């Protein structure tokens, strides 16, 4: 058996700690470490207010998988952390693409898949709840935002109205770069019933509050992991709950719905109602690219390429139809990136197991709890402008 490379896991963690700290500081202060108004070490150390809680949730999630795998006598690696920092000119990031553990043997039991899959998100979710509670009950005074945006100080407690007006002007000019954290049910609950309304920041300024941002991202990634498709944690959970045959029948339906929502409103028939040939050709080329991308997303749903093509074109046609009759209906195009990775590389279906035994009542209840966590944590439009 291959010996663990402890040095590699530690090195990746330390690099990820540094990159998430830098990214956290950039979100807090709205500036970068490179370029105009470059930040220094004081701002970097302040970024620990984001990186430490966020990586704590991520680490608890991964070690939830790890320890349950060990308890089930499944060979597994320690977590590999993936650093990713874009502050050298490519834009803002969160400093990491997450972490993963490698299972080093074939899992023969439906129950083991369930146990290992559910442990991570439930463990991380408990910590994320504590983080959100702390963040919303320990909001700094309103003066905090003035240290980041000194220009707001002249407006006092009425600064929010100024922000809204400035954002509206930026939208009209096409220069908007602000980010709003779209509500999940849990995030909305904490904002509405836990936070002190007098200290609650304006929606466009919430990203400057490191504990809120770390808590929000923790919920976001928990919900992504719990999507009940393929080999995601949610896929393991649903596979354990309903078994191979029913899962493989339901998974492509769920995946199709996910992609349908992601691309809803991306194109409308009115986009092509123009007398300008250049505009028409530009829109048409984007539509062709989108169609090819959809086909690639569905390319592993069936072994028959004609079936996959039919699914892709049907999804696009229904999206056009819904947009025609309900013009205001819009999904979230950002999900298409994740959908592409899921459909093209990770796969929609779940690996088969030799033992397909049903779960006991306790595990069924835990599985239903995990699906509830998904519903409470999922935001239909996570990051909006």
Given this model, what pLDDT does residue 23 score? 96
Say how far apart CA 15 and CA 275 lie, in whole Å.
53
Residue 1 has pLDDT above 60, yes or no: no
Nearest alpha-carbon partner for 298 in 318, 316, 321, 324: 316
Reported confidence tier of residue 89, pLDDT bands at 50, 70, 90 = low
Beta strands in the chain (DSSP E): 80-84, 95-100, 180-181, 383-384
pLDDT tens for 261-270 read 999 999 998 8
Strand pairing partners for 96? Answer: 83
Q: Provide the 3-class DSSP secondary structure of residue 103.
A: strand
CA distance 150 to 130: 31
How many other CB atoms are there within 10 angstroms of residue 233's CB atom? 26
Residue 166 in this model has a pLDDT that exceeds 80: no
- Quick: pLDDT tens for 96-141: 999 999 999 999 999 999 999 999 999 999 999 999 999 999 999 9
Q: Residue 323: pLDDT above 80?
A: yes
Q: What is the pLDDT of residues 198-207, one digit of tens each?
A: 999 999 999 9
The stretch 230-246 carries a mean pLDDT of 96
For residue 269, give every residue at least 6 positions away whose Cβ sits within 8 Å of its Cβ, in sequence order, or none. 320, 323, 324
CB atoms within 10 A of CB 90: 8
3-state secondary structure of 383: strand
Average pLDDT, the chain: 93
Q: Which of 169-178, 216-225, 250-259, 342-351 has the lowest mean pLDDT?
A: 169-178
Identify the band that residue 34 occupies on the pLDDT scale cut at 50, 70 and 90.
confident
Of 151 and 182, which is predicted with more confidence? 182
Phi, psi angles (nearest 5°) of residue 138: -125, 40
The confidence score (pLDDT) of residue 176 equals 60
Nearest to 229 by CA among 366, 151, 66, 117: 117
Separation between Cα atoms, residue 183 and residue 14, nearest integer Å: 31
**pLDDT above 70 (res 212):** yes
Confidence of residue 172 (pLDDT cuts 50, 70, 90): low
Rounded to whole angstroms, the Cα distance separating 360 from 329 reads 41
Cα 315 to Cα 89: distance, rounded to the nearest angstrom:
36
DSSP 306-331: HHHHHHHHHHHHHHHHHHHH-TT---
How large is the average pLDDT for residues 284-313? 97
What is residue 385's predicted lDDT score, i.e. its pLDDT?
77
- Position with higher pLDDT, 10 vs 36: 10
Asked whether the predicted pLDDT for residue 290 surpasses 60, the reply is yes
**Helix axes 48-71 and 210-225, enclosed angle (nearest 10):** 30
* Residues 52-72 pLDDT 10s: 999 999 999 999 999 999 999
Per-residue pLDDT band for 271 (boundaries 50, 70, 90) equals: confident
| CA–CA distance, 294 with 303 (Å, rounded to integer) | 16
End-to-end CA distance of the chain: 50
Say yes or no to pLDDT of 10 above 70. Answer: yes
Average pLDDT on 328-354 reads: 95
Is residue 295 scored above 90 in pLDDT?
A: yes
Instruction: Write the DSSP assignment of 6-49 as a string of letters.
Output: HHHHHHHHHHHHHHHHHHHHHHHHS--SSSTT---HHHHHHTHH
Q: Are 265 and 316 in contact (CB under 8 A)?
A: no
Nearest to 54 by CA among 224, 202, 210, 159: 210
Sign of the dihedral through C-alpha 7, 10, 15, 16: positive
């Amino acid at each position: 058996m291959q010996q663990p490379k402890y040095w590699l896991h530690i090195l990746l963690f330390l690099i990820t700690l540094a990159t998430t700290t830098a990214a956290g500081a950039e979100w807090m202060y709205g500036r970068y470490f490179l370029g105009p108004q470059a930040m220094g070490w004081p701002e970097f150390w302040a970024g620990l207010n984001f990186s430490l809680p966020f990586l704590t949730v991520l680490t608890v999630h991964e070690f939830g998988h790890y320890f349950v795998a060990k308890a089930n006598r499944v060979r597994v690696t320690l977590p590999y952390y993936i650093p990713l920092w874009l502050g050298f000119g490519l834009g803002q990031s969160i400093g990491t693409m997450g972490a993963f553990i490698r299972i080093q043997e074939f899992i023969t039991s439906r129950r083991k898949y369930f146990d290992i899959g559910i442990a991570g998100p439930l463990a991380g979710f408990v910590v994320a709840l504590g983080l959100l509670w702390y963040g919303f009950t320990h909001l700094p005074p309103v003066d905090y935002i003035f240290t980041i945006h000194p220009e707001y100080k002249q407006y006092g407690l009425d600064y929010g109205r100024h922000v809204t007006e400035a954002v509206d002007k930026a939208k009209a000019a096409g220069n908007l770069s602000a980010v709003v954290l779209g509500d999940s049910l849990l995030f909305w609950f904490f904002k509405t019933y836990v936070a002190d309304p007098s200290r609650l920041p304006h929606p466009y300024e919430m990203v400057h509050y490191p504990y809120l941002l770390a808590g929000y991202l923790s919920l976001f990634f928990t919900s992504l992991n719990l999507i009940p498709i393929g080999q995601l944690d949610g896929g393991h959970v649903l596979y354990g709950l309903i078994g191979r045959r029913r899962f493989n029948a339901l998974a492509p339906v769920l995946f199709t719905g996910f992609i349908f929502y992601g691309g809803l409103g991306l194109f409308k028939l009115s986009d092509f109602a123009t007398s300008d040939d250049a505009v028409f050709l530009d829109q048409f080329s984007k539509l062709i690219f989108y169609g090819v991308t959809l086909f690639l997303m569905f390319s592993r749903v069936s072994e028959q390429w004609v079936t996959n093509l039919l699914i892709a074109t049907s999804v696009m046609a229904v999206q056009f139809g819904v947009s025609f009759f309900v013009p205001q209906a819009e999904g979230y195009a950002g999900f298409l990136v994740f959908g592409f990775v899921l459909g093209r590389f990770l796969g929609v279906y779940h690996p088969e197991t030799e033992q397909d035994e049903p779960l006991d009542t306790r595990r069924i209840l835990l599985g239903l709890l995990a699906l509830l966590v998904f519903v409470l944590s999922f935001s239909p439009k996570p990051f909006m402008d």
